[in-house]
A and B are shown apart, each in its own frame.
Chain A
Amino acid sequence: MNEPDDDDVRRLLQDALPRVNGGLRRDLWPAMARRLAAPPPRRVVWYDWALAGLAGGVLVAFPDLILLLVYHL
């Protein structure tokens, strides 16, 4: 895989960033089980944000609409 030209760079990298030899230190199943049991994170999709931004923009541009909105609430 390594070209002869790579040798000098490879040697420098292996000296500066030694190979990783460590194995897994603990059983990860408990963490996995917790992750599986956790409720899925609530996600706000982008068009909800866009709609909220649009509504906010309209209210900023036409403040009188706030009164109308409050009346209907």
Chain B
Amino acid sequence: MELLKRFRQGDPEAFEALFRQFQAEVYGWIVRIVRDPSTAEDLTVETFWRIHQARARFDPGASFGAWARRIATNAAIDHLRQRRPEAALPDDLVQPGSPDPIACRETRRQIAVAFRSLPVTLRVAATLSLIEEQSPRDIAEALGTSEGAVRVRVFRAVRLLRRHLTRAGVMR
């Protein structure tokens, strides 16, 4: 609590202490959304920059982690909106040796392309819910919305994906 108050007052040592305490957690959240370690590192720094700039608005009685996660989500969404959709898929996130039930690499590529063609807000909700299996409460908190709104976004994402994949012949 004392640390958070000092951070709010602009104490650089308090900010550094919070950075060191939360950088891994913030990075872990961002990399789930952007799925690229190098980009996630840059966005972690960007997130803490925004946190530093907004410190006067932080309520020391609230959870710093939840606040940081929300700012991190916004930074990741801003990045995804700016990025060209046809950018290459990061290869280093494919787990080596993991069983791959999809025999055809082309099918896998089609699924990834369909997923990345979703509107960013739907894609982020679907990533966190369907792939990363985060709790609805955490997703809603990070997106600054309700659990019901998260469910709607996931539902719409699934509907769009199903339509896209059916058209591509991946699903029936």
Please name all residues of chain B whose beta carbon is closer than 8 Å to the beta carbon of A1 when the two chains form the complex: 129, 133, 135-136, 150-151, 154
Whether A9 contacts B44 in the complex (CB less than 8 A), given A16-B108, A19-B131, A25-B37, comes out as no
A31 to B162, CA, bound (A): 41
The answer to whether A23 and B102 touch across the interface, beta carbons within 8 angstroms, is: no
Size of the chain A interface, CB-CB below 8 angstroms = 30
A28 to B46, CA, bound (A): 11
The answer to whether A28 and B35 touch across the interface, beta carbons within 8 angstroms, is: no
How many A-B residue pairs lie within 8 Å, measured between CB atoms?
Answer: 107
A42 to B42, CA, bound (A): 21
CB distance from A8 to the nearest CB of B (A): 7
A15 to B104, CA, bound (A): 11
The answer to whether A18 and B94 touch across the interface, beta carbons within 8 angstroms, is: yes
A20 to B93, CA, bound (A): 6
* Listed residue (A16, A18, A26) with the most chain B CB atoms within 10 angstroms of its CB: A16
Please name all residues of chain B whose beta carbon is closer than 8 Å to the beta carbon of A48 when the two chains form the complex: none
A35 to B154, CA, bound (A): 36
A14 to B23, CA, bound (A): 26
Instruction: Confirm or deny: B171 has a beta carbon within 8 angstroms of a beta carbon on chain A.
Output: yes
Please name all residues of chain B whose beta carbon is closer than 8 Å to the beta carbon of A32 when the two chains form the complex: 19, 45, 48-49
Q: In this complex, what residue of A is CB-closest to B34?
A: A20
Instruction: Confirm or deny: A29 has a beta carbon within 8 angstroms of a beta carbon on chain B.
Output: yes
Instruction: Confirm or deny: B126 has a beta carbon within 8 angstroms of a beta carbon on chain A.
Output: yes
The answer to whether A17 and B112 touch across the interface, beta carbons within 8 angstroms, is: yes
CB distance from B122 to the nearest CB of A (A): 12
Tell me the chain B residues, 55-78 only, with Cβ under 8 Å from chain A: none
A23 to B131, CA, bound (A): 17
Q: In this complex, what residue of A is CB-closest to B136?
A: A1
Q: Can you list 17 A-B contacts (CB < 8 A)?
A: A1-B129, A1-B135, A2-B154, A12-B165, A13-B131, A14-B130, A15-B108, A16-B102, A16-B108, A16-B115, A18-B98, A22-B31, A23-B28, A25-B37, A28-B19, A32-B19, A36-B52
A residues at B contact (CB < 8 Å): 1-3, 5-6, 8-10, 12-29, 31-32, 35-36
